[in-house]
Each structure stands twice: as structure tokens, then as C-alpha cells.
Amino acid sequence: MIDQPQITARKEPGEPIFHRINLVGVHALYVKEVRRFFKVQLQTIWAPAFTTLLYLIIFTVALGRQGHMVMGQHLADFLAPGLIVMGMMQNAFANSSFALLVGKMQGTIVDYLMPPISTGELIAAIIGGAVTRAILVGAVVWLAMLCWPGVNVMPQHLWAVLWFGLNGAILLAFLGLITSMWADKFDHAAAVTNFVVQPLSLLSGTFYAVDRLAPAFQAISHANPIFYIISGFRYGFLGVTDSPIMIGALGLLGLNIAVAVGCYHLLRNGWRIKS
């Protein structure tokens, strides 16, 4: 008898072809996200880095020469780590908050929803692009501060720099992605930036030691998760901190996991994306 060729069963509509991680799709979307902000790098990388450096220049020129000390450190040394990670977080938020919003406004959201990638893979690519932008901005600011006279930005605890820097960028990237799902126009995203992200960043102990505040304001600062990111990142450079490092590190990890789970369920259900 002649062997009959085996006929492969057809996939039913909606049945996934990729049963594991679609690395090709994740890589393609990640590259798209990186190229999107890199095409306008003067606006997305160099301009934010320059703005962050202006803070350091202003405070150094205005107060640094008067010998101001904060937590036993020169003012410029105290400010530099907080400014670096603040710039990283703000740009991670800006990048991910633009991802789905521009698709909704231009009618190209289908380009994110139709490709054969899962919800987790979609999130990984978008968050990866946002964190990449944050790292580039942080690296540019750090290199510039290395050349700035009177500022010491050599890490003492590299693990703290990497942990709090990356987790801080990831946290704001997730918040940006949720904002991108919620917003219907750029004004909505700008409102979250101006009334949520900026206040949380500026009132997190970046420019001052929290223990100098009144007890009520200290309690408010301790409820701000960005305070622990700033404090932990500063510890990585200076070796001093005004918060429990391990509690902040583990709390930040738990918060990231909780926000990631919430973001996953919102995106999987098509919240404010699918009609």
C-alpha cells in the first residue's frame, strides 16, 4: 500500500499559532517603540537631559557656593542622583503614555491589537521601549554630571543604582501605559503628567531632606513611592539614605508586580481601547 500523505489539521479562527513566547513579534514591536522616540532624539533624549542639568546648574550656582550641606553631603552631590533618576522616570512615563494614545487618535490602534502577540508580549515590548529611553536619558545626564566641576557621581553601591533606577523606570512606564489606555487626547495625558507625575517627583525629597519637614509632611512624603526610589538611588551613589533601603527595595518590587497585574488585566479586557 502507498502511504497516504498526512493532512495537517487546520487551525480554528482565533486559535493561537505561537504556543510559546513570540520573540520575533516582541522584538519587532520593541524596535518600533525605540525607533519612534529615537527619530526625534533631540526632543526625547537630549532636551530632557538638558532640562535636568539646568536644575543642577541653577542650584549649584545659587546655593552650592555657599557651602550648603544636606545629610552630610555637599548640595550638588546630594542633588545629582535624585535628578538623574527623576529624569529617567519622567521620560519612561512620557514614552509609554504616548504608545497607545497616538494609535487611538490616529486610528492605527489596530496595529497593536491585531498582530499575533499576547497581552503580556505587547506590554513587555512597550515597557521595554520606555525603559530604554529612560536608560539613555539617565546615561546622558550622568555623563554630563561627570564633567561638571564639583559633583561626585561615582556609584558606591552599584546594585542599588541598578535596582532602584530600573524599577523606578518600570513603575512609571506602567503608569504611563495605563494613562495611554485611559486618555482620549493629549490633554488627558498632559494632565496626568502635570498634576500627578510632576508633583510626586518634585515632592519626593529630590531637592531636600525629608526629615527637615514637619511631621505631617514627613508622613505624606513617606506615602509617596517615588520618595523610596529617590532615596534608594541616592544611596547607591552616596551611601547615605533617609529611608530603610531593603524595605524600599522590596516594597518597590511588590508595587511593580501589583501595577503590572492591574495593567495586564486592563489591557487584556480592552479597557477604553476596544469598542
Map out the domains of the chain as residue ranges.
23-268
pTM flag (> 0.75): yes
Nearest to 205 by CA among 178, 232, 177, 244: 232
pLDDT band at residue 138, thresholds of 50, 70 and 90?
A: very high
- Which residues pair with residue 104 across a beta bridge? none
Specify the amino acid at residue 193. T
Query: With bands split at pLDDT 50, 70 and 90, how would you rate the model's confidence at 250?
Result: very high
Judge contact between 89 and 201, C-beta under 8 A. yes
pLDDT at 7 over 50: no
Mean pLDDT to the nearest integer, 128-142: 96
Percent of the chain with pLDDT over 90: 55
pLDDT at 6 over 70: no
The answer on pLDDT for 2 being more than 70 is no
Highest mean pLDDT among 40-44, 73-77, 133-137, 271-275: 133-137
**Higher pLDDT, residue 65 or 30:** 30
Q: What is the pLDDT of residue 76?
A: 85
Q: Poorest-confidence range of 7-21, 144-158, 213-227?
A: 7-21
Q: What is the pLDDT of residue 18?
A: 55
Whose CA is closest to 164, among 245, 55, 108?
Answer: 245
Segment 154-159 mean pLDDT:
94
- 10 Å Cβ neighbour count for 44? 20
pLDDT averaged over every residue in the chain: 87
User: Residue 275's pLDDT band (boundaries 50, 70, 90)?
Assistant: low
DSSP state letter for 69: E
pLDDT for 5: 46
Q: Position of cell 522590596? A: 250
pLDDT, tens digit (0-9, with 9 covering 90-100), for 158-204: 999 999 999 999 999 999 999 999 998 889 999 999 999 999 988 88
| Backbone Cα Rg of the chain | 22
Question: pLDDT band at residue 136, thresholds of 50, 70 and 90?
Answer: very high
